[in-house]
Amino acid sequence: MTPAFVHRDRNTVCVMDAASRLGVSLVMRLLQRGYTVHAAAYSRTGDFSATLERLSAEDRRRLRLFAADPLDYHSIVDAVGGCSGLFYAFEPPQDQPYDDLVVDVEVRSAHNVVEACAQVETMERVVFTSSVTAVIWREGREPAVEFDEREWSEPSFCRKNKVSNWSNTELERLLDRSIGGPVIVDRNVSCARQLWHAAAKTLAEKTAWALAMDRGVDMISINAGLVMLPELSVNPPYLKGALEMYRAGVLVTVDVDFLVDAHLAVYESAEAYGRYLCFDNVICRPLDAAKLAQMICPDALHPPAARNELKVAEQHIQNKKLNQVLMDFDPGRRVDE
């Protein structure tokens, strides 16, 4: 049953962490759409922070900048004060690998954010950015199981050494097995096997949902695929276990603009509820895998061409629930008209 939704003035929202590619993209689209935005940034340095400063200088009436610390409850309360909505995402710096410490920080951050929103009388809806990795990893899964929003990864499984090593050679091995190309193995690469990214996203999202239900916070989660960015790192933590994801038909990606539309659509829809898988591309063909490997490892030696293009992995993940919401979403509409 779809939960009841109370309509209020929804034109002031907060984006946290705004100093990221997704955060900046959300801020820009929200301003274009007529919202007043509180941009809460975890860092005041870097290109994304500079972009926020420029945007604020251009429109100080509708864009306010806040310094936020995910572990400082009071800084979060300050940022979301007076807002009717929050778009929340957590990603550590690219030079900080996912490990048990980051898992703990992400879980505590999720708790602080939802608790802060529960204390803000004007808060109407929280859109919590999670990951497909919080859906697909569990022990003993059947090869042909179909994944949707009802599935959860198992944190205990994610902490075990149950998947093949990921390095910048993982997709090279995948390509070797799928297309017959050469394997390029860097023996000096450290290959921790735990699925820390999946563990962090699963535990943080579960924490947020438990607290949201306890505190009566209207929350929606967007479980995104690998976000395709120009600055995509050489070793995305999302892709730990990429070979298993490819074989299972659940290796998915999402364009950042599509991801932004998904966030806005579920925030503005009175019928939206629960979790939404978000992706616009499924890596099922060897050629698609080769393109992904080329994007992630542009300096590596890649097979010149697919020699087994008919060897296609069957897709076993779907996002019909999100597609239904997007059908009614007008990307050009302004909320202040």
**288 cis-preceded (ω within 30 degrees of 0):** no
Confidence of residue 98 (pLDDT cuts 50, 70, 90): confident
190-213 average pLDDT score: 88
* Annotated domain spans of the chain: 12-327
- E strands, 112-212, in order: 125-131
Q: Classify domain 12-327 at the CATH superfamily level.
A: NAD(P)-binding Rossmann-like Domain (3.40.50.720)
In angstroms, what CA-CA distances link 80 with 67, 118, 297? 12, 11, 39
Confidence of residue 14 (pLDDT cuts 50, 70, 90): very high
In this prediction, residue 56 carries a pLDDT of 86
Question: Of 60 and 220, which is predicted with more confidence?
Answer: 220
Give the Cα separation of 121 and 98 in Å (integer): 35
pLDDT tens digits for 265-306? 999 999 999 999 999 999 988 888 888 887 777 665 555 545
Confidence of residue 99 (pLDDT cuts 50, 70, 90): confident
Beta bridge partners, 290, equal none
Confidence of residue 310 (pLDDT cuts 50, 70, 90): low
Q: What percent of the chain has pLDDT over 90?
A: 56
189-196 average pLDDT score: 62
Q: Which of 263, 313, 260 shows the shortest CA–CA distance to 286? A: 313
Averaged confidence pLDDT in the chain: 84
Give the Cα separation of 162 and 167 in Å (integer): 15
Give the Cα separation of 63 and 41 in Å (integer): 13
47-66 average pLDDT score: 89
What 3-state class would DSSP assign to 40?
strand
| pLDDT score of 217 more than 50 | yes
In this prediction, residue 186 carries a pLDDT of 39
pLDDT tens digits for 19-37? 989 999 999 999 999 999 9
| pLDDT score of 161 more than 80 | no
83-95 average pLDDT score: 88
| pLDDT score of 202 more than 70 | yes
In this prediction, residue 337 carries a pLDDT of 62
Give the Cα separation of 233 and 219 in Å (integer): 30
pLDDT tens digits for 162-171? 555 444 444 5
Question: Of 246 and 143, which is predicted with more confidence?
Answer: 246
In this prediction, residue 3 carries a pLDDT of 46
220-225 average pLDDT score: 98
**String of b and e for 77-105 (b: at least 16 CB within 10 Å)?**
bebbbebbbbbbbbbbeeeeebeeebbeb
4-21 average pLDDT score: 76
pLDDT tens digits for 103-128? 999 999 999 999 999 999 999 999 99
Question: Of 100 and 30, which is predicted with more confidence?
Answer: 30
| pLDDT score of 221 more than 80 | yes
Give the Cα separation of 274 and 148 in Å (integer): 12
